[in-house]
Chain A
C-alpha cells in the first residue's frame, strides 16, 4: 500500500489540469472508427454545402451510424411537391460497404417495395467507396423521375408508369402519407 500511495503522489503531480482530456487518449480503436470519422466529414460537408432538394442528419439517438434523410420529389414527375423520408444505416466498414437505405415514407414506385426497400444497383453490387450520403440521395432523387422498369420490385407500378401516367400519379398520391419523426 505504501507503494501505491507513493505512486499516486508522483503521478498526480503533472496531471492536475489534464485529467479531463484523458478520455481521448484512452479511447479504444474500434472497427467502426473510420466509418464514424468519414461520416463526420460528410456531415460537415452536407451542412456547409447542401445540395438542393436533399438533406440528411444523424438520428436523434446520437448514433452516427444511423441517419435520417429527406428527398423532395423532383418537379415534372409524379412525385413533385411530395417529401420523402428515408433512413440510412451505415455498416461499420463504411464506406467500403454500402449503407442500408429504406424509404420510411410510403412510396409508390417501380423500384421500391411496400416496406420501403429500394432496388438500386449502386446500393448493392455497384457500390464503390467513392459514393457518399449526398451522392446516394441525389441518385435516389433521379430514380424517382427515371425508374428502372426492367427490374421492378413493384410490377404494377412498372406497368402503369408507361401505360397510364394519370392512374400512376393517383396511386402515388394515395400511397403517400406524411409520417412523424421518431
Chain B
C-alpha cells in the first residue's frame, strides 16, 4: 500500500484550488477503502471538474442576439457588469482589458476597476440564463438552458476532464475513463493483442483504428471482427450468418437448427410452429394482464372496504345526533312529525351529506306548497273584493239615475212656477196701467218690478237664474200651491 497521498494535492495548479477540496476528501476516503486492488467508482464518489467550464466555448442552439454579446470576447455575456459609461462586458473580459488600460474599451472613458462597476438589469441576466446552450465538452451533445449547463458540466457530463485517478498524476482525463481506482490513465501499457506500447487513454482509439491484431477472422463467415470486449462472441451468437443457430420458435416445438442464414430464411418462409409460438406468447401476455388486474382489483377492494367501514361509523353518529335533536324539539315544535319523518321510516343515510341534502329538499317542497297557498289566498281575496265593489258601484249608478230624474222634475216645476209668475206680473202691470192710479208707494213698486222683469228675461237657463229666483220662490210659494213648496223643501 502506498503511503497517504497528502503531498500530492500540494502540486495542483492554482486554478483548481476550489475543486481540489472535494477531490482531496474523495481521495482520502478512497485510500481508506483500498484493500481491493481495483474499485469501481460509485455515484457518491463522482469526481468534480478540475477546470471550470469555459463559457466562451459554449455553442448556442440559436444565434445569440448581438445585444447579448460581449464586445471583447464576442460571445454571450458571462456574469456581465456595466461600466459607468454604460457599456456592458463579461466581468473577466473587462478585468483583463483594464489590466492594460484603465479605460472603457468602447469609448475610452476612465474606469476604476471593480469600484465603478454597476450590476446589469435582471432582465438581461434572465435572457442569458434562458439561452439554449450545448455542453462545451467534445463528444457531449447535451443541450439545456445555460443556467443549468454548469451543473451538468461540473457533476454529470461524462466528458468533463477530471484528475487522473492515480494519486500523483497531474494530468486530466475524461470522467468516464476514471472507472478504475488508482489506475493512471496516462501510463503506457502493452496492447493485449499487438503488444505495442499504448497509453490507457488511447487504448480504445488504438483498438478501433490502428491495432490489426485486435481484429480476427470469424471462423464461420470469414468477416473481420474486432475481438475487443467479447465482440467476437456477440458476433457469433447474434449476427454471424454462417454460425449455427436455432429457430426463434424453438420454444413452441420447432426443431430446426442450421446456419443462421438458412434459419432466418426458414423463419421468413413461415415456420410451422410460428402460430403456436405466437399463441403461447399471447397467452403469456394475457396471463400477465390478468395477474395485474387481479392484483389491482384486490387492492381496490381493500380500499373500498376500509372506506365503507369508515362511512358507516360516520353515518351512525349523524343519525344519533339527529334523533336526539328531534326528541328535544318534540315538545316545542308544532309539527314534530314532519321533522322526524326521515328517521321514522328507518332509512339509513349513506352520509351526513346525503342526509342534509334530503332535509334541504324536503324544506324546499314545503316552501313551494306554502307559496302556492299564498297565491291561492291572494286570488280568492281579490275576487271577493271585486265582487263587493261591483255591487257598490251598481248602487251608485242607480242612485245617480234617480238623482237625474229628480233634477229633471225640479226643473220642470221651476219652469212652471216661473211662467206662472210672469203671467201674474203681466196681469198686474196691465191692471195698474188701466187703473192709472198715482201714488208714491205704487211708483216705487213699479220701478222695482221693472228691473226684476228684465233680469228674468236676460237669463235663459233655469239653473243659472236659480239664485236670483230664490227669493221669488218664496214670494211665489206663498202665492202658489202649498204642495209644491213642500216638495221643494224636501229636496
Interface residues of A (CB under 8 A from B): 3-16, 18-27, 29, 33-34, 37-38, 41-42, 45, 95-97, 126, 128-132
Contact = CB atoms under 8 A, between A and B. Distances in A.
A76 B97 CA distance: 38
Contact of A24 (B40, B56, B138, B201): B138
B407 interface: no
A55 B75 CA distance: 22
B473 interface: no
Nearest to A15: B204
A24 B139 contact: yes
Contact of A129 (B93, B180, B229): B93
Given A19-B205, A24-B137, A10 B180 contact: yes
21 contacts: A4-B190, A7-B38, A7-B200, A9-B229, A10-B180, A13-B179, A15-B177, A18-B139, A24-B138, A25-B138, A25-B172, A25-B173, A26-B161, A26-B172, A26-B174, A29-B54, A37-B56, A38-B73, A95-B73, A129-B97, A130-B106
Contact of B71 (A27, A45, A130): A130
B100 A97 contact: yes
B378 interface: no
A37 B104 CA distance: 22
B37 interface: yes
Nearest to B99: A96
A13 B73 contact: no
Interface in B229-267: 229
Interface residues of B, number: 52
Interface centre among A7, A38, A95, by most chain B C-beta atoms within 10 angstroms, is A7
B315 interface: no
Contacts of A131: 105
A60 B334 CA distance: 112
Contacts of A10: 38, 40, 179-180
Contacts of B40: 10
Identify the 10 closest CB pairs spanning chains A and B, nearest first: A24-B138, A21-B139, A19-B204, A128-B105, A130-B105, A25-B174, A129-B97, A130-B71, A41-B74, A129-B72
Contacts of B51: 29
Nearest to B177: A11
A97 B99 CA distance: 11
A7 B183 CA distance: 8
Contacts of A95: 72-73
Interface in B85-114: 93, 96-97, 99-101, 103-106, 108
Nearest to A3: B37
A3 B38 contact: yes
A25 B159 contact: yes
B77 interface: no
A6 to B, nearest CB: 6
Given A4-B189, A129-B105, A19 B173 contact: no
B229 A20 contact: no
Nearest to B176: A14
A37 B174 contact: no
Contacts of A5: 192
A41 B75 contact: yes
A6 B38 contact: yes
B450 interface: no
B204 A25 contact: no
Nearest to A45: B74
Contacts of A13: 179, 229
A114 B278 CA distance: 89
From DSSP, what is the main secondary structure of chain A's interface residues? Answer: helix
Given A11-B179, A21-B138, A97-B100, A26 B73 contact: no
B192 A8 contact: yes
Nearest to B71: A130
A128 B189 CA distance: 50
B27 interface: no
Interface in B119-178: 137-139, 158-161, 172-174, 176-177
A97 B161 CA distance: 30
B57 A26 contact: no
A34 B201 CA distance: 26
B180 A11 contact: yes
Given A96-B99, A130-B72, 14 more contacts: A3-B183, A7-B180, A11-B177, A11-B180, A11-B200, A12-B228, A16-B208, A18-B176, A21-B138, A22-B177, A24-B139, A27-B138, A126-B108, A128-B106
A15 B54 CA distance: 25
Contacts of B100: 96-97
A18 B204 contact: yes
B173 A26 contact: yes
B203 interface: yes
A24 B130 CA distance: 26
A6 B37 CA distance: 10
Given A15-B177, A16-B229, A24-B159, A128 B101 contact: yes
Nearest to B173: A26
Contacts of B161: 25-26
Given A24-B139, A130-B71, A132-B74, A8 B105 contact: no
Interface in B38-80: 38, 40, 51, 54, 56-57, 71-75
Contacts of A45: 74
Contact of B204 (A12, A42, A128): A12
Interface string B186-230: 000110100000001111110110000000000000000000110
A67 B205 CA distance: 34
Given A25-B159, A37-B56, A96-B96, A8 B208 contact: no
A42 B75 CA distance: 10
Contacts of A130: 71-72, 105-106
A23 B183 contact: no
Interface in B413-470: none
A104 B137 CA distance: 39
Contacts of B192: 5, 8
Contacts of B105: 128-131
B398 to A, nearest CB: 113
B205 A12 contact: no
Contacts of B207: 12
